[in-house]
Structure 1
């Protein structure tokens, strides 16, 4: 079924050079980017195998050691759609996050908060025929980082969305409704329009929660158009 093409509004996404986010000053490009034409093989591959996903990949509470992770148990669910709200089926979603104390399982994370021996902070799933997905995890904690003397990141989950091939990738972050650090987080504030940040905030969804087990948050992802989710990377044509 045909539908109108809606051009990408690049002002909606965070600019690469945002001096209030200190490390963007040294990492952002200083010269105009070059557009390099891709070959057919680069666009269509390499592809990922659906059978490579295990039964616990979407369950971050248990997928590291089998024992339950420590923290507030939550469900994150939603749909991945195109600019005309048609479902995107078979998309690979990968997520990574800090633990309940705000620490990543990474060699370069020196935050003094403890590691959870049963939590890796990584998971993945495929979208269904209706574009839907569900992940079980622990609500991540806030953490400090070296931007200025008292910079803190509000609780968030990183999302990577792949299309049919691994070269088709978009990256974003999900925040939580009611976070008191929203207006203080230097990275979240790189978005030029407050409405764009609203698109990254997942509201509490009690209708999808599991009684006596987990709260739920809904995070819908739109790949293009006027309803588009803001992305950290914006490859041409994606």
Structure 2
């Protein structure tokens, strides 16, 4: 993501990111590029200008996935699963907050199934959980979601591959071309080091940028745990994103 401060442009270190061709992650074989990538040396107007979201009108529960899809209003209309809060801060490589940034998320339900026509996993759909939310960062770059902790699920990379519990996160930068998409994992999940997708990342420190941390002081007693996931958009400590 390009910085909102055009005079402070920092080139991306591509060694921080996994190779596009990673045979252990089988679908990368067919979709990886066959020609060398072209690096943009100087940002153009399309990288420095674009939509703004400070005036975007959000629904009352757009960032609360426990409420934004349920069919009823009684307690039995709530989604099934462990309620959690996920929050964090979006900053640039110099630690400056990124206010008015659109942050979107989508995920599987507590059983590990997405509300998607092509998801055929045997876990049931939850009639009160859509699995999609959005919010805008505040003046200090903070965002916040309330949701259900997603379940792991099998996928056909090999006979016994399982995805760790994860939430997809999208951050919209200062232009359409700087939309970034990644995945948020949960601290302590034993499936993280077993995941073929995670294992395409060669640097252990880069993997750690994808792991949310349990934040007990911000957890709600007798209600839900809280996890913090900060996003650094550029520089040496940048959060790794799938499409860079």
Picking from 110, 123, 148, the partner of 1:138 is 148
Contact 2:186 2:213 in 1 (8 A): yes
Q: Distance in 2 between matches of 1:101 and 1:50?
A: 36
Q: Distance in 2 between matches of 1:231 and 1:39?
A: 21
Structure 2 residue ranges without an equivalent (≥5) = 72-76
What corresponds to 2:168 in structure 1? 158
Q: Distance in 2 between matches of 1:228 and 1:156?
A: 19
Q: Distance in 2 between matches of 1:4 and 1:107?
A: 44
Taking the TM superposition and a 5 Å limit, the aligned residue runs for 1:168-183 are: 168-183=178-193
Contact 2:53 2:100 in 1 (8 A): no
Query: Alpha carbons of 1:99 and 1:87: their partners in 2 closer, same or farther (altered >3 Å)?
Result: same
Q: Structure 2 length normalisation: TM-score?
A: 0.89
Picking from 106, 118, 126, the partner of 2:136 is 126
How far apart are 1:127 and its partner, in Å? 0.5
Contact 2:53 2:136 in 1 (8 A): no
Contact 1:105 1:115 in 2 (8 A): yes
Picking from 85, 94, 99, the partner of 1:89 is 99
How far apart are 1:43 and its partner, in Å? 5.3
The SS at the match of 1:31 is: coil
Q: Structure 1 length normalisation: TM-score?
A: 0.91
Q: Distance in 2 between matches of 1:90 and 1:200?
A: 22
What is the Cα-based RMSD across aligned positions, in Å? 2.3
Q: Between 46-55 and 112-121, report the one with greater CA deviation.
A: 46-55
Structure 1 residue ranges without an equivalent (≥5) = none
Q: Distance in 1 between matches of 2:131 and 2:94?
A: 32
How far apart are 1:208 and its partner, in Å? 0.8
Contact 1:8 1:225 in 2 (8 A): yes
1:186 is the counterpart of 2:190: no
What corresponds to 1:98 in structure 2? 108
After superposition, the C-alpha distances for 1:1-51 in whole angstroms (9 at most, x for unaligned) are 999654321111222111100000001111124568997468533555733
1:63 is the counterpart of 2:68: yes
What corresponds to 1:24 in structure 2? 28
Contact 2:172 2:179 in 1 (8 A): yes
What corresponds to 1:224 in structure 2? 234
What corresponds to 1:233 in structure 2? 243
Query: Alpha carbons of 1:190 and 1:50: their partners in 2 closer, same or farther (altered >3 Å)?
Result: farther
Contact 1:46 1:167 in 2 (8 A): no
Contact 1:47 1:166 in 2 (8 A): no
How far apart are 1:171 and its partner, in Å? 1.1
Query: Alpha carbons of 1:189 and 1:125: their partners in 2 closer, same or farther (altered >3 Å)?
Result: same
What corresponds to 1:148 in structure 2? 158
Query: Alpha carbons of 1:35 and 1:6: their partners in 2 closer, same or farther (altered >3 Å)?
Result: closer
Q: Between 195-204 and 143-152, report the one with greater CA deviation.
A: 195-204
